[in-house]
Amino acid sequence: MLPSSELKHAVVKASSSFCWQKYTGFDGACITIVIFGALVSGLDYLGNFGFTIDNVVSMAKELS
Domains within the chain, CATH numbers bracketed: 10-63 (3.40.50.920)
Q: What is the predicted pLDDT for the residue at 49?
A: 78
**Predicted TM-score of the model (pTM):** 0.62
Q: Which residues contact 50 (CB under 8 A, 6 or more apart)?
A: 31, 56
pLDDT digits 0-9 by tens, 12-54: 887 777 888 778 877 888 888 766 665 555 666 778 778 888 9
pLDDT for residue 64 is more than 70: yes
- Pick from 28, 29, 48: nearest CA to 37: 48
* 63 and 8 Cβ atoms separated by less than 8 Å: yes
Q: What is the predicted pLDDT for the residue at 1?
A: 55
